[in-house]
Chains A and B, each alone.
Chain A
């Protein structure tokens, strides 16, 4: 009995990970660690005052911002609603446009490689342009207002949405689609009957998620002149009217929290 045990342990036991993997992982670990150390020392050299100065400034800033001017609520309610409308319209358009794009960017549905690669590349390019840059460009083209903001948001959210949904499509069960094909359905019927029911909950959830992102993004876009509450916030900050600005920030905070809460609840119910 003991003899057998001994012979078992003395024999060479295979390692859980092969030696090659161990070396690779160790190497990657040290490279990442090196990048961290380098960027830490670099940013420290760049930070002029460090945290010491910030703490002192904080009190002066807070003094200026408080108390918020509650009287402006009625005046800023309009632009706030505009911001929400901007996000709603932009999300709706993006949600519609994303359907064909997501299907064309899904490898399992678009089996014709060139088309798939083309759509994928197009979506990748869309995603590399930051929403702020889009807004600046469109404000330059169409002037200050809601329209350039909406356009920027549509393109920005299209990039995210189409990518996420095409990945959802790629993970569906292909068996029902095979059954639809084998019963003589054409491409549209196969997609409508086999694919759509499978991705509908995720699709709705992702659209709501992008809607949340759009609410926040549309505030930021307002800063560069794309309308809504961000535009007003930028103006008030420009006039050094900090109590008004504080009220705007509080309102944005409350609205974003409420919308996120509702949308999270809906998404929970869906999935």
Chain B
């Protein structure tokens, strides 16, 4: 369970990233956070694994206040919160298997990982994860030889290999075309259901949010302006979140193509 209690974040340059956030995310939920760029979605999601550190309030993950975490505590937190990025963040010169095994770093000792001496189960797990996103035939390809969609699947395999309790996905489909976007979202949803991993996804496409989310959190200017199950959401809700009428660019489309 993740609980935001009066969480605020002011960046060193004075920008307010988060303003008095109070949100509870229950285990197993698939939450989509929507909002325009700059609304604080990334800051919200990155606070959970402390890639950014909120400056006020308290943030509880499994009843522990993570804002005080440092060193090994922090690494333990990050080991249980896997992350998927907009730009995939693979090491382009390394092969797919090595990239996926990087998901085990938090579970592996420094010496072991430096000499590539991963446990047999870990390598097996990495291969299983690649199979789950149907990309096991690319195992020895260099990451930069893959297409965008394939790279994002590899990064999902990396997160799976991490065996996290939470998956945070920061705009995972923003660099992809519509059919590939749906494929990636389908994998995320499937993993959420099959492994019961709490998943929080940042999106700015409303149609995709409506299609995949159990619950939608709307953000504007660092504040949560909507929070509710997807059944309560209508077009006017989005107009409220975005503070303007809905346009073509807010839709990803192509749902039937995948």
Q: Which residue of B lies closest to A191 (CB)?
A: B114
B79 at the interface (CB under 8 A from A): yes
B215 at the interface (CB under 8 A from A): no
User: Per-position contact with B for A17-53: 1 when CB-CB < 8 Å, else 0?
Assistant: 0000000000000000000000000000000000000
Residues of A within 8 A of B89 (CB): 175-176, 178-179
Of the listed stretches B27-35, B59-67, B105-113, name the one at the interface; the rest are far from the partner chain.
B105-113
Contact flag A179-B155 (CB < 8 Å), given A189-B105, A189-B110: yes
B41 at the interface (CB under 8 A from A): no
Whether the Cβ atoms of B91 and A198 lie closer than 8 Å is yes
User: Per-position contact with A for B71-92: 1 when CB-CB < 8 Å, else 0?
Assistant: 0000111111111010111111
Question: Which of A182, A192, A193, A197 makes the CB contact (< 8 A) with B83?
Answer: A182
The docked-state distance in angstroms from the alpha carbon of A9 to that of B105 is: 64
B24 at the interface (CB under 8 A from A): no
Residues of B within 8 A of A179 (CB): 83, 85, 89-90, 102, 155, 158
User: Per-position contact with B for A188-212: 1 when CB-CB < 8 Å, else 0?
Assistant: 1100111001101100000000000
Whether the Cβ atoms of B51 and A181 lie closer than 8 Å is yes
Residues of B within 8 A of A197 (CB): 91, 93-94
Whether the Cβ atoms of B106 and A176 lie closer than 8 Å is no
Whether the Cβ atoms of A183 and B91 lie closer than 8 Å is no
Residues of A within 8 A of B110 (CB): 186, 188-189
The docked-state distance in angstroms from the alpha carbon of A181 to that of B89 is: 11
Contact flag A180-B105 (CB < 8 Å), given A186-B75, A197-B93: yes
B103 at the interface (CB under 8 A from A): yes
Whether the Cβ atoms of B105 and A183 lie closer than 8 Å is yes
A185 at the interface (CB under 8 A from B): yes
Question: Which of B75, B76, B78, B105 makes the CB contact (< 8 A) with A193?
Answer: B105
Whether the Cβ atoms of A183 and B83 lie closer than 8 Å is yes
Residues of B within 8 A of A183 (CB): 78-79, 82-83, 102-103, 105-106, 158-159, 162
Residues of B within 8 A of A181 (CB): 51, 78
The docked-state distance in angstroms from the alpha carbon of A29 to that of B162 is: 59
* B158 → A minimal CB distance (Å): 7
Whether the Cβ atoms of B92 and A180 lie closer than 8 Å is no
* B12 → A minimal CB distance (Å): 13
21 residue pairs bridging A and B, Cβ less than 8 Å apart: A175-B87, A175-B88, A178-B51, A178-B85, A179-B102, A182-B82, A183-B82, A183-B106, A184-B162, A185-B113, A186-B75, A186-B105, A188-B114, A189-B108, A189-B113, A189-B114, A193-B91, A193-B105, A193-B113, A197-B91, A198-B91
